[in-house]
Amino acid sequence: MTTIVLDAMGSDNYPDVDVRGALMAVREYDFDLILVGDEKLLREKITEYSQENEKLPIRIVHAPEMLTMDDKSDDLVRKARHKEAQNSMAIGIDLVKNGEANAFVTAGNTGAAMVTSLFRLGRLRGINRPALAPTFPSAAGKALVLDIGANPDCKPRNLVEFAILGSVYAEKVWGITKPRVGILSNGEEAGKGSNLVRETYPLLEEANINFVGNVEGKGVFAGEVDVAVTDGFTGNIFLKTSEGVAKLMTNSIKESVMDGGILAKIGGLLIKSSMGKVREKLDPNAVGAVPLLGVKGMVFIGHGSSSAEAIKNALRAAKEAVDVSVLASMQEAMKK
């Protein structure tokens, strides 16, 4: 049976949102769940949101401390690596390291989750730097983009590692045969791009992946690739810009309908169902969390403002990755 650990003190509205999402997930999906956090608070929330006489496969592991956005630099490193750390992230990740769970999910501080994962799990053999790999909507369905912030400065070797990790994830978790891998650039032609892009290009051609060349940002959304690799600085700008454009478009359409008079409102009602599908495709809550690829364990990191639905979907994503043994596949790919 798959067992997943949830940092129940992770979201901005902990533990309410985290527990509600956890209960939704275990009711819908078949897995065992471990909640890590303040035991008293968690039991109160489980009682509040459980149905009468409901028996769910949930275990609580007490963690008296938690990591927050205020934990930075040396203080964060100390809390992340201390052997007897008592915060919910460290305890939860240790459960994965010790084999008591198959994956760890948190909606807490992204930097803290990455640092704690690195110190307590370590990197996969052959991986120099792990990467954050969010899912972007595309005309072909979806695309994986990595890295989007864990590594602002990268070397060609790092991007090759990202490409291998992303290709394995898309193949195993999404079921795509020979995922198309591209490198994010300012032009499709070979030879364009920064020094990093030009130096990485021939290495990707030699890698054991389906490399299709350069891809522009618009090409990611057009469905030209299944996986796009880039450095964390460029990837983070790409992510934040995409989020901003999506929000601007949906808000502008809504404002135009509301301010356009009776005919516009009637038209809005006619396309309400279709717009709902578009909104769902752009909704980050539908994905739930971003996998941290390259560490010796499955780690998924959600946004602090996650809803209960996002927590549920994050747990679903973790279960899907565990069920297809994606971590073992990544280890095997790095050996090759």
> What CA–CA distance (Å, rounded) separates 45 from 207?
49
Q: Which residues contact 40 (CB under 8 A, 6 or more apart)?
A: none
In the prediction, which pLDDT does 243 show? 81
* Superfamily of domain covering 137-283: Isopropylmalate Dehydrogenase (3.40.718.10)
- pTM here? 0.90
pLDDT level of residue 54 (50, 70, 90 thresholds): confident
Q: Can you read off the two tokens belonging to residue 315? A: 């747990």
> What CA–CA distance (Å, rounded) separates 298 from 292?
7
Q: At residue 81, does pLDDT exceed 90?
A: no
Check for a shared fold between 3-131+287-335 and 137-283.
Answer: yes
> What CA–CA distance (Å, rounded) separates 247 from 309?
19
Domain boundaries of the chain, sorted by first residue = 3-131+287-335, 137-283
Arithmetic mean of pLDDT over the chain: 89
Torsion of CA 78, 102, 172, 123, to 10 degrees: 30
Q: DSSP label at 139?
A: T
Q: pLDDT tens digits, residue range 136-188?
A: 999 998 999 999 988 999 999 999 999 999 999 999 999 999 999 999 999 99
| Surface-to-core class of residue 253, CB atoms within 10 Å of its CB (0-12 exposed, 13-18 middle, 19+ buried) | middle
Q: pLDDT tens digits, residue range 100-147?
A: 999 999 999 888 899 999 999 999 999 999 999 999 999 998 999 999
Instruction: Please tell me the CATH code under which domain 3-131+287-335 is placed.
Output: 3.40.718.10
Beta-strand relationship, 298-301 and 290-293: antiparallel
Phi, psi at residue 210, to the nearest 5°? Answer: -90, 75
The residue to which tokens 């901003």 are assigned: 244
